[in-house]
Amino acid sequence: MFQKPKEICHYSSDLENIITDVDIKNFAKNTQREIEQIIAGLGLKLRRAELKDHFAINQLLFERFHPNTASQISFYDSYRAIKHGYTVVLEDTQQKIVGYDYSLGYDDDDKTSFGLNIAISPSWAGHKLQTLVSTYTSLIGMERGSRIRRGILHPSNYISLHNLLNNTGFLCEQFFPHLPGFESSRFILSFGLTPAEMMNNRVNLDKVKHFINEKKVGEDFYLVECDNEEEIDYIYKNSSFRVVAFLQQGKISDKNQLFAIPYEQMNFPDSSLEFLQIG
């Protein structure tokens, strides 16, 4: 099972018993309804995107990301993700789009569910909407038979590191110091799409603090500063450590750091361990 150590995560053994196709689809449907109710309680509507939403999504995209990053999402990408994927939007009471998640599935060996891009308006910060929406589209992928959820993230995007690694449960399976098109570094994120792999990978920072105090640095775990891309690249190429959590400055750590664990402890799929030379 593609799983962070139980010692650092919120964990429920009951989730490991949800293994049949019928039970997994029921879990996905029920959890989607729960998320819809939470979001409705905030006064927002969560719905599948339509092509008419493209321009409002694009406006939010350029508000939330550097132009070099935002420009990587073309109309063609938007068209595919909306018409042939399962992109969703958040709409307020004035029918203004205040969040979106471009998501679609692929026919690789993992039947990957890919989160192309996600953004939430800063006016709705503090409600964990990025986690809720990312989880929602991951559940759609689970329901459709995807086995792994993946996405892309910059190592210094602190808000998304916290939301996606700690709250949603992603792991950083690969690191590219220079990803063509983005012209900068990126992590490839992932988690397995079973109820246990998805929900039991959410980080408990109190447990992480205890883990750091009790275990051996360099053997059981490794800490690296988020902006030290040279060291991140080194550990991904020369060790088995893989980043699984974000430690925010001023809480557990005096710096913004990434917390890594040997991949042997997490049963990484073969596709996560392939060395890919790009550029």
- Burial code (b: 16+ CB inside 10 Å, e: under 16) for 102-119 equals bbbbeeeebebbbbbbbb
Residue 138 domain-assigned (yes or no): yes
Amino acid at 162: H
Task: Provide the 8-state DSSP code for 128.
Answer: -
Q: Which domain holds residue 175?
A: 6-267
Residue of higher predicted confidence among 13 and 273? 13
- Percentage of the chain with pLDDT > 90? 88
Q: For residues 45 and 141, what is the distance between their CA atoms, to the nearest angstrom?
A: 20
Residue 73 domain-assigned (yes or no): yes
pLDDT score recorded for residue 108: 92
CATH of the domain at 163: 3.40.630.30
Averaged pLDDT for residues 122-139:
97
| Residue 135 CB neighbours (<10 A) | 22
Burial class (CB within 10 angstroms; exposed 0-12, middle 13-18, buried 19+) of 76: exposed
pLDDT higher than 80, residue 273: no
Residue 1 domain-assigned (yes or no): no
Averaged pLDDT for residues 153-159:
94
Domains contained in the chain, number: 1
Query: Residue 62 has which token pair?
Result: 């350029």
Residue 276 domain-assigned (yes or no): no
pLDDT tens-place string over residues 217-235:
999 999 999 999 999 999 9
